[in-house]
Every structure is written in C-alpha cells, then in structure tokens.
Amino acid sequence: MNILMASSECLPFSKTGGLADVAYSLSKEYARKKHNVSVITPFYSSIDISKFPNITKYQELEVKMNWRHIRFTIYHTEIDGISYFLVDNKYYFYRDSLYGFYDDGERFAFFSNAIIEFLKNSSNNFDILHVHDWQVGMLPCLLKVRYFNDEKLNKIKTVLTIHNPLFKGYFSPSSLYDLYELNQNLYNDGSVRLDDQVSTLKAGIKFADKITTVSPTHAYELTTREGSFGLWYDLTLRQNDFVGILNGMDYDEFSPRSDKLIYKTFNLRNYKTGKNENKVEFCKEHNLDPDLPLFAVVSRLTDQKGLDLIFSMSDFITHAGGNFAVLGSGETHAENFFNDLYMKNQNHTFVYIGYNNNLAHKLYAASDFFIMPSKFEPCGLGQMIAHRYGSLPIVRATGGLKDSVIGYYSDDNGDNSDLANGFVFNDYNVCEAIKTVGEALNLYNTRKKLITKLSRNALKTDHTWSASADKYLELYNEIVK
C-alpha cells in the first residue's frame, strides 16, 4: 500500500497535541509493516533545521488560489522509514505558533491546495490520502468535486480522521471560491455547510471515502446529540463508512526499560524496586515524602481536560495525606490555582507550569496514580503512557479513556484485580471524582499488594500500534480496488 498522510503537525518536526504523535507513530508502524508511507506537513519556522541534516530541497511548485499565485518549496527527508515532505512558504508558516491567526482558514487552504499540486507533480502513485482534522478536511472534496476528471487524482482514495471535533474549520461562505475555487452550490445544497458557515471538517465528513475517529467509544459519542459537538447528524448519515480505531502509542519514546530520562530503568521483573527508586528520587529532589502516594497530572491545562475536577481532586489529595504533582500549561486561572495550591501545601505538592519532556518522563515513572478526568477525550495519550510506566490512571469513562482503562471494582462476589489497570468513574461531577481518588488513596494505604498487582496489570497492557494499524490497513483495503 502506498499511503500519504496529510497533517498540520507531525513529530519530529512539530507538535501542539496528540495529532502530532499519531501522525508520526502510526506512520512508523506502517513503515515497520513494509508499506510505503509518506507524510506531508508544513515547514514551520519553529523547526530547528540543524537537527535534521539530511533535509534536501525536493521541488519548487506554485499554487493558484483564485487571484493569488503562491510559490512554495517542498523539502524532503526520511526518518524511521517515513518519507517526509515539508511544504515551505514563509508568508503562511513563519509565525510565532502553529495556529491561532486571523487567516488560519487561508493558511490551511494554501496547505491543502499545495498538497493537490504535490500530488499532481509527484511520481508516487498514492493509493490512499489520509487526512487529519479540519486543516486538511477540504482535500477529499477537492479530489471528488474539482478534480473528478483528473486521471491521476481521481484514483486516490481518501480517509478522514477526526482527532478533535471541537474544531470545525469554519469560514465564510464567500471564501469557498476565493480559497478553493469551489462552486457556491456546495454551500447552498448543504454539502459543506455547518451552522451557516463553510466547515472544512464537515466537507471531509461528506466527501471522504472513509471516516474514522480515534476510539470506538468516541465514534459512538460522535453520533449522539450530547457528545458530538454538532456533528451527529452528518456522521449518522455516513455511519456505514465511519469507525473508531483506538490510537496506539510510541513504544520507542516511552519505554521504562531503556528510557534515558528517568532515574532508573525498569521492566516487568524488577519494576517494584525500579519504580520505587524513581519515586524516591523524584520525591527527594522535590521535597516530598516518598511514603505517601503520589498522584500526577501531565496535561494541557484546558477545560477539555476536566480542570474543575482536577482542582477539587488536588485539594482533596493534599488534605487526605497524598502528594499531588502537576506539569502543564494552559489557561491562566488554572496556572494560578496550582501556584496557590503549592504556596498552601509546599510539602505535598509539586507544580511545574510549562512543558518539559524530561520532567514528564520522570513524573510518569515516579507516580503511583495518574489523574485524567476529561470532559471529553477522543482518545488520550497520557493514560497509556501512565500504564507503560506502571502508574495507575484515574479517569472518567469517556472516549478513549473508557476504551483503554479497566477500572478496579469489588463486590461481595470478588473483584476484577486480575484485569483492572486503573480507576474509572462515570459522571462528570466532583463527588464521583473525589470518591474515586479517595478509593485509590485508601487502597494504597491499606492494600499495598493489590495496588502492586494493578500496577503490574498496567505495565502489561498492550498499547502498541500493531493491531490498530492493521485496522486502518483493512479499511484502506476496503476502498482501494
């Protein structure tokens, strides 16, 4: 299979969220399975070119976007068996950050049109164009509508993956021709219209050959009124072509047995002492008592991640005899909350506002519990990394959290300690959240052996990409004749 991934961010070049991890680690798995895989992604000014000495100039092309004639260069390199094509245009991509500009619609319209130009001029015959999120959502529509009689382009099948349904790629109806040279009828007949605007995500849902999201539970949620952020109607219309495939994670980057960033490497055999050493060192370094359970949060501090629940949980933990550690950045009120928490409970808290990969690894390896009570979570990566380092996720049953964490329970007939690898609660409310943290804390204090057993289950949980990559490949095979 010859696959082209189109993504507005991709490791090792750029990252603001899980999309970058997925575009990279799924592609790496394809390469491992001996498929031809390429990624096309913008050349942002934040990319440190000195780290990639093998990048070469590949092609100079021009895109026509209505009255605009835009020249751009494609750079090429190969990493981990993946062929990377980087679209370089200083005007659109040399900015302070990846997103958040008044002209994002135009920037990613340029990117999408540049991908079409690349496809036209490429000697690769791609079977599949796999597009991710709203930034490249218009590509399936361009291929099906604008280039339907282009012999080369009309053979390419498309898959859209929705990583975050919050972002729809809205822009004004008049831009449809201006940015994509598409006929206004597509708006008038509803094909690309959502909430009386053009939505590139909706266009992808309408025109892609297959649509996926990043967990089975989230796929279900996206067909409900309550859980779909307005997409349920369009996704229900396409339900025969819509599936949820659970993300995997990058086992090379997150590997307790070889991780150079943690204090002490460990594996399934020696993890009890190995993990404990990580905890003791971390606590020593940050003035915490290593005998107390350590609860960690590593996250963007945004509403989606369940901030109000995290606030209550952290308050509770520091009062009930636990240690609470948080690493992340985001909304100012959250950053302030955690700084205050630290001022009030210096002996029970660790607070790092910002992003720090080194510290994140250490915290995963040192913590006993990993808190992730998201409001919604299409898949989530933190809970999987936590498993990998034997830290028990405490999550809310939503999206991929529900699909990847087995919550511990016990009743008169026994418990599920042979399987459980974390703690799960259902409803988004403070009572449930605190009750669950309380249970974890209590078990830590009274049933240490049980916690060790669950932690062992966590370490054994399989979050490799292999099975999920096969599911994507099956899907590709259904549409490539």
Q: d(Cα 14, Cα 24) in Å, to the nearest integer?
A: 10
Structure tokens at 468: 């999920």
The least distance separating ligand GLC from the CB of residue 108, rounded to whole angstroms, comes to 17
- Cβ 363 to ligand GLC, closest distance in Å? 19
Residue 341 or residue 475: which is nearer to ligand GLC going by CB?
A: 475
Of the two residues 317 and 386, which places its CB atom closer to ligand GLC in the complex? 386
Least gap, CB of 273 to ligand GLC (angstroms): 32
Residue closer to ligand GLC, measured from CB, 247 or 457 = 247
Identity at 383, one-letter amino acid code: Q
Residue recorded with tokens 């000697």: 123
**What minimum distance in Å lies between the beta carbon of 322 and ligand GLC?**
26
CB closer to ligand GLC, 3 vs 63 = 3
Q: Nearest approach, Cβ of 284 to ligand GLC (angstroms)?
A: 33
- For 109, the token pair is 């319209």
Which of 212, 421 has the CB closer to ligand GLC?
Answer: 212
CB-wise, 245 or 440, nearer to ligand GLC?
A: 245
The dihedral through the CA atoms of 370, 362, 382, 406 has a sign that is negative
Closer residue to ligand GLC in complex, CB, 88/133: 133
Which residue's C-beta sits nearest to ligand GLC?
18
Query: What is the smallest separation between the CB atom of 308 and ligand GLC, expressed in angstroms?
Result: 18
- Among residues 214 and 433, whose Cβ is nearest to ligand GLC? 214
Q: How far is the CB of 217 from ligand GLC (least distance, A)?
A: 11
Residue closer to ligand GLC, measured from CB, 215 or 436: 215
Nearest CB to ligand GLC, comparing residues 163 and 193: 163
- Characterize the bridge pairing of strands 369-372 and 294-298: parallel
We find the least distance from the C-beta atom of residue 18 to ligand GLC, in angstroms, to be 3
User: Please, what is the minimum distance in Å from the beta carbon of residue 165 to ligand GLC?
Assistant: 9
Binding site for ligand GLC (CB under 6 A): 17-19, 22, 163-164, 214, 247, 377-381, 400
∠454-338-346 over CA atoms, to 5°? 80
Candidates 423, 300, 376; CA nearest to 15 is 300
In the bound complex, what is the minimum distance in angstroms from residue 222's beta carbon to ligand GLC? Answer: 12
| Nearer to ligand GLC (CB atom), residue 18 or residue 306 | 18
Q: How far is the CB of 25 from ligand GLC (least distance, A)?
A: 10
